[in-house]
Amino acid sequence: MEATTSSHFFPSKIPSLPRTLLSAQSLKPPTTIRCAVSITTTPEPQLPLTTTTTADDSITAFWDYQFLFVSQRSETTKPLTLRVIEGSIPSDFPRGTYYLTGPGIFTDDHGSTVHPLDGHGYLRAFEINGSKGEVNFSAKYIKTEAQMEECDSETGRWQFKYRGPFSVLRAGKKLGNVKVMKNVANTSVVKWGGRLLCLWEGGVPYEIESKTLDTVGRFDVIDGEDCVLKSGINGGVSHSLSQGGVWDVAARLLKPILHGVYNMPAKRLLSHYKIDPHRERLLLVSCNAEDMLLPQSTFTFYEFDSNYKLMNKQTFNIPEHMMIHDWAFTDSHYILFGNRIKLDIPGSMLALSGISPMISALSVDSSKPTSSIYLLPRFPDEVVDNRDWRIPIEAPKQMWLLHVGNAFEQRDINGNMEIQIHAAACSYQWFNFCKMFGYNWKSGKLDPAFMNAREGEEDSLPHLVEVSMNFDREGKCQNCSVEPLNFWTTPSDFPVINPVVSSRKNTYIYAATSSGSCQTLPHFPFDTVAKLNVQNKSVSTWTVGSRRFIGEPIFIAKGDTEDDGYLLVVEYAVSIQRCYLVILDPKRIGEADAVIAKLEVPKSFNFALGFHGFWAGED
């Protein structure tokens, strides 16, 4: 095992925090600090791991937030068996591996920092064997082309050469550095058809060897899909439902510039995929590179069987400028929420010159009070109503969709249809491309104030919603409503369900939320798992404890009932710089004995907050 070197975001001064006034004296870390972090870059202040202050102390809370984004430079050479420190691993736990990806490095050795969304992908694997009562842990960087360019494999030193969409460089080439879409493969992970893939928002997935976590290389899953369609599977027809016009001409002119100059792929594969357990298909979606600059959006949906044979492909051209991160599907539809954006001309000039992040070329478009929802036919030949998919449903609320938990449709005997979507959304007023996670690209620092709205503004933060739409047999929308899911208004995100009931009417949904126990960080980072029963509208919670946070929960199905299984969640004990894998009993959420087992990751492998994970059962 190689030695660990950790680095962090370090502020020159602490920004103002909600509900807290900081005096000049409080800008210095508390004197009662013990620190065990080695630094190899420029001199940086000592960090508080333990203090004598209360959990609500603004200094402590500020540093706790920084420790969620600790850089981890070490990798495992062989799996490490984790120590069980609470409970025991159930003998009937399904054998398999929990994969979790996210950024692993934020600060290089030459004075540059990057936004968490631009951090190189660091893949963690928890291999669970219930019969042995054992969990083995592995962690390695995904060796993308960009990672191998920016990390010296001999010395382990990093130098960021490309800024990424959300960052600028403090060292190295700035002006004229046009390679902005560097693929860091840090957003999501899926194992399908025997291949373990790490995905990023706008690039080709990277394939990983599932046992060793060694990088196999790029796996261009959508390359040459038109040739596959000619095989005649399910008719083998690619339905392109496009409006055409002047913007198609503009798109053709932009494509060679974006690809040749800015190294952007013609089609950007989105990081969020879906699995249809009933048809046993992997669903992916791509958008066109030029969509970032034009007032139209082109989305192509792909459905693959377990051998990566393309079973269905649909392309839709939508006359709106949209930014899609996550999406939904039902038996008959793909569902897109029209997160409206617009081109920022001054920001575009600065972005193209390298002075500001590329993402500053875009801003949210809050000019309309409603939210457009596009119901796109999965199988156009099977459409039973006359609804025109080009006309969106206008939800009576302006909301920016972040993540989807589930969506399903039901028809009654008269042909009327109801569609429900359970998701996490926030307000247009809060969402800001250049401030996500509180990162300030001008200073290269993190400010937790952005993620924690002031009192009375909590509704602007991510929260769970239920969107209901009712249609008559002709496809005309009779009603569309948006309400807080289960009347739950606490800021929450990362909604998940038992994957067995995906695209079917579900009873339970789980999400990461906050207890509000820390006055300075009342809403984020999350420290609580919420279980919502959408049938009886109840909510029960489990909280990890003071100065400890969690990421996305994931459900592992076991039995016949919807909540029969296990919940996995990673705990980030920032006060002592430790990570733990926690196994929860979904049926006991809200009870004192919800924790089944807790396992400790060695301190030398403490890792940053992950984004999205995947459970790959061996069966």
Beta strands in 522-594 (DSSP E): 528-533, 538-543, 549-550, 554-557, 565-573, 578-584
pLDDT above 50 for 327: yes
Asked if residue 463 belongs to a known ligand binding site, the reply is no
- If DSSP states are collapsed to H, E and C, what string results for 110-133? CCCECCHHHCCEEEEEEEEECCCC
Confidence of residue 253 (pLDDT cuts 50, 70, 90): low
Across 40-44, 203-207, 319-323, least confident range:
40-44
**Pairwise CA distance, residues 95 & 588, whole Å:** 22
pLDDT tens-digit readout, 447-469:
999 999 877 777 899 999 999 99
Contact 440, 447 (CB under 8 A): yes
**Pairwise CA distance, residues 583 & 587, whole Å:** 12
Identify residue 436 by its one-letter amino acid code: M
pLDDT tens-digit readout, 402-437:
999 999 999 999 999 999 999 999 999 999 998 999
Rounded alpha-carbon distances, angstroms, from residue 146 to 179, 223, 252, 332, 367: 10, 21, 28, 39, 38
26 vs 389, more confident: 389
Rounded alpha-carbon distances, angstroms, from residue 375 to 242, 243, 338, 421, 541: 15, 16, 11, 12, 33
pLDDT above 90 for 350: no
Q: Is 449 helix (H, G, I), strand (E, B) or coil?
A: helix
pLDDT above 50 for 439: yes
Contact 470, 38 (CB under 8 A): no
Q: Beta partners for 617?
A: 96
pLDDT tens-digit readout, 145-166:
999 999 999 999 999 988 888 9
pLDDT tens-digit readout, 219-248:
999 874 443 333 333 433 444 444 456 656
Across 39-48, 110-119, 567-576, least confident range:
39-48
The stretch 62-67 carries a mean pLDDT of 92
pLDDT for residue 358: 85
pLDDT for residue 163: 80
The stretch 202-224 carries a mean pLDDT of 91
Highest-confidence segment of 34-43, 293-302, 347-356: 293-302
pLDDT above 80 for 199: yes
pLDDT for residue 252: 59
Asked if residue 612 belongs to a known ligand binding site, the reply is yes
pLDDT for residue 228: 37
Asked if residue 321 belongs to a known ligand binding site, the reply is no
Across 110-119, 231-240, 370-379, 605-614, least confident range:
231-240
The stretch 187-216 carries a mean pLDDT of 96
**Confidence (pTM):** 0.89
176 vs 266, more confident: 266
pLDDT for residue 444: 85
Confidence of residue 28 (pLDDT cuts 50, 70, 90): very low
If phi > 0 it is left, if psi is from -120 to 50 it is alpha, else beta; for residue 183 that is beta
The stretch 589-607 carries a mean pLDDT of 96
Identify residue 29 by its one-letter amino acid code: P
pLDDT tens-digit readout, 544-565:
999 999 999 999 999 889 999 9
pLDDT tens-digit readout, 12-25:
444 444 433 232 23
The stretch 38-44 carries a mean pLDDT of 33
260 vs 167, more confident: 167
- Mean pLDDT of all residues belonging to the chain: 85
Percent of the chain with pLDDT over 70: 81
pLDDT for residue 373: 97
29 vs 264, more confident: 264
pLDDT for residue 347: 81
Confidence of residue 38 (pLDDT cuts 50, 70, 90): very low
Asked if residue 259 belongs to a known ligand binding site, the reply is no
Using CB atoms within 10 Å of the CB of residue 34, give its burial: 0 to 12 exposed, 13 to 18 middle, 19+ buried. Answer: exposed
Confidence of residue 319 (pLDDT cuts 50, 70, 90): confident
- Neighbouring residues of 348: CB distance < 8 A, sequence distance ≥ 6: 360, 361
**Pairwise CA distance, residues 114 & 441, whole Å:** 8
pLDDT tens-digit readout, 278-297:
999 999 999 887 666 667 78
Rounded alpha-carbon distances, angstroms, from residue 481 to 322, 376, 419, 421, 598: 21, 19, 11, 11, 41
pLDDT for residue 44: 34
Identify residue 389 by its one-letter amino acid code: W
In angstroms and rounded to an integer, the radius of gyration of the C-alpha atoms of the chain is 24
pLDDT for residue 331: 96
pLDDT for residue 328: 98
154 vs 3, more confident: 154
Listed in sequence order, the DSSP H helices in 326-482 are 345-353
Confidence of residue 522 (pLDDT cuts 50, 70, 90): very high
Percent of the chain with pLDDT over 90: 67
pLDDT above 50 for 523: yes
pLDDT above 60 for 9: no
pLDDT for residue 178: 59
**Pairwise CA distance, residues 294 & 204, whole Å:** 22
Long-range contacts of 567-570 (CB under 8 A, 24+ apart): 567/510, 567/529, 568/98, 568/126, 568/613, 568/615, 569/512, 569/529, 570/100, 570/610
